[in-house]
């Protein structure tokens, strides 16, 4: 397992907070390591309390499966190749807002999860978190979606 440095998690969270403020939407932002363990969390004033757990689970979903949480949603929907997958691992969140964080070597080193707005707003803030450092990228699979 790759260690996810706290200072990097804080920088990514701060980048997301800037974007959320620009949008005028209070958000919850979670950063986890590659095993899905929480490294850093921020809840903006006025962010929905029910979204705290959702943000963490979106990040865990992206970290554990090394895919955007929206992709897990596509795979786990009725008739999908991994139907009901979202009920595993203590409950995953199968919609947009969770994105894996890739290290310089392309391996997943952690993930971010955002909740508090629409799915589209959550994805935009998660993408802002990834833009915090030059090595941040999104895997080939689609990052957005419901």
At 66-105, the pLDDT tens digits run: 999 888 776 556 665 555 555 555 667 778 999 999 988 8
Q: Let me know: does 51 contact 20? Beta carbons within 8 Å.
A: no
* Domain map (residue ranges) of the chain: 6-130
52-74 burial by CB neighbour count: b if 16+ within 10 A, else e? bebbbbbbbbbbbbebbbbbbbb
pTM listed for this prediction = 0.84
Confidence of residue 136 (pLDDT cuts 50, 70, 90): very low
Position 11 scores a pLDDT of 95
**Mean pLDDT over the full length of the chain:** 85
HSE (side-chain half, CA atoms, 13 Å) at 18: 12
Q: Tell me: domain 6-130, CATH 3.30.450.150, correct?
A: yes
Q: Pull the structure tokens for residue 117.
A: 């707005």
């Amino acid at each position: 397992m790759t260690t996810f440095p706290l200072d990097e998690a804080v920088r990514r969270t701060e980048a997301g907070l800037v974007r959320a403020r620009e949008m005028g939407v209070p958000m919850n932002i979670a950063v986890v390591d590659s095993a899905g363990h929480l490294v850093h969390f921020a809840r903006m004033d006025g962010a929905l309390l029910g979204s705290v757990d959702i943000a963490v689970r979106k990040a865990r979903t992206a970290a554990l499966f090394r895919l955007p949480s929206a992709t897990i949603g596509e795979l786990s929907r009725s008739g999908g190749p991994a139907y009901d997958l979202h009920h595993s691992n203590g409950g995953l969140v199968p919609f947009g807002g969770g994105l894996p964080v890739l290290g310089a070597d392309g391996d997943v080193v952690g993930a971010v999860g955002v909740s508090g707005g629409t799915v589209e707003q959550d994805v935009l803030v998660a993408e802002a978190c990834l833009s915090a450092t030059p090595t941040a990228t999104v895997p080939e699979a689609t990052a957005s979606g419901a």
